[in-house]
Structure 1
Amino acid sequence: MLNINQQYYDENAQDFYDATIALNMQSLYRQFLPLIPAGGSILDAGSGAGRDSKAFLDLGFDVEAFDASEKLALLASELTGKKVAVELFQTFESKKQFDGIWACASLLHVSLLELPAVFLSLSNMLKSEGLFYCSFKYGEGEVARNGRVFTNLNECGFASLIKGLPLRIKDQWITADLREGRENEKWLNVILQKD
């Protein structure tokens, strides 16, 4: 699953950057950023083109970012002026404890089987009471589409996924896709809080 997705993003990095860099993300930022202390630390997990990292840096947050695609990480580094690490969710490590984790439309590229371990690993990098935003295409199961593989989740699937983890659902809501022409695609957005 990872190799297919990495290959896709490496081969289509500039197109993906061009298609996503100017999206207006304010509706999602408004749900998450007020929960993070001013100047707090945010891990942008699966940062893609770096759009969100740049927005958070511009607002004075301390941002660390990584992405599995070498080409996207390079574009994100150029955009933000900060080195974006090339890492997988399964292998990323940080000694830092973050106030928040932002995983916008990124964890959906992790297989359903591996997601609980990834959530646990990331939660270990959160401060106590830290916040964790993530989003998944709304649905069930793993699907292949347009050269990529996605794990879709609905409310029930997500609740079952994090059962037993040191995370609780603080808020969840469904949105339409922000990209033009994809308004019929739905997303499950979740804000988790570490116990």
Structure 2
Amino acid sequence: MDFEQSTRQYYADNASVFVENTQNVDMSALYERFLPYIPEQGSILDAGCGSGRDAKHFQSLGHQVAAFDASPELAELAGQLLQQPVSIQTFQQFDKADAYDGIWCCASLLHVPNSELLDVIKRLHKALKQSGVLYMSFKYGTQERVKEGRFFCDQNEQTIQSYLAGFKVLETWVTGDQRPDRESEQWLNLIVQKQER
């Protein structure tokens, strides 16, 4: 089975429900960790933006926001929310250089297989300006698994280390899921900074 395709199909079939379930989740605790590293009116990429919820928040603070998602259905809905185009692409297709002060990957890199994660994080490294920061979150664990058609690549503090060449780890912390009935699910959060060449 092509898990990339089945993951995309999941979001195609469930885009509006997914947006409904995630749109109003309180992410303020995560924003408070990430935003102090971003200059005023700095440029932020929401990579794998889903509903566009986080990009909208960054936009409302005066940041220059760009966003993409692999799901055409989610990109369309996010574009409506942001009132700007949201590009349709995968992490594996993404190719920018020295473009952003910050990249936000909230619950999006977790759909990238371990075998492709190093290349993808290198692409994000390249896209950051010097000393730019990258926020990432993964479901906490060590497995690659499929749940309800969606592929997940779980990480913990140890497993993620092998993908962080060229970055300095600024913060690592574990949180519970903010959605009702999902509180028992744990998330690994990281903020890493692009190092001087």
Give the TM-score band, short-chain normalised.
over 0.9
Query: Secondary structure of 2:107's partner?
Result: coil
- The Cα of 1:161 is off from its aligned counterpart by 2.6
CA distance in structure 2 between the partners assigned to 1:88 and 1:60 by the alignment: 26
C-alpha RMSD of matched pairs (Å) = 0.9
Q: Distance in 2 between matches of 1:123 and 1:160?
A: 14
Give the equivalent residue in structure 2 for 1:145: 147
Residues 120-131 of structure 1: pairs in structure 2 closer than 5 A: 120-131=122-133
Q: Kindly state the Cα deviation for residue 94 of structure 1 after the two structures are TM-superposed.
A: 2.9
Name the residue aligned to 2:79. Answer: 77
SS across alignment from 2:141: coil
What TM-score does the superposition give when structure 1 sets the normalisation length? 0.97
CA distance in 1, matches of 2:162, 2:130: 22
Offset of residue 169 of structure 1: 0.9
User: Which residue of the partner structure matches residue 26 of structure 1?
Assistant: 28
**Aligned length, in residue pairs:** 193
Match of 1:156 in 2: 158
Q: Distance in 2 between matches of 1:96 and 1:13?
A: 31
Deviation at 1:185, TM superposition (A): 0.2
Matched residue type, 1:52: D
Partner of residue 135, structure 2: 133
Question: Hey, which bits of structure 1, 4+ residues long, moved more than 3 A?
Answer: none
Q: Please give the per-residue CA displacement for 1:139-168, whole angstroms capped at 9, x wherever unaligned.
A: 002011122110000000011232xx2112
Specify the SS of the correspondent of 1:113: helix
Q: TM-score, normalised by structure 2?
A: 0.96
Q: Greater CA deviation, 88-97 or 26-35? A: 88-97
Structure 1: state its 5+ residue gaps. none
Tell me the residue number matched to 1:8. 10
Deviation at 1:117, TM superposition (A): 0.2
- SS in structure 2 opposite 1:120? helix
Displacement of 1:3 in angstroms is 1.2
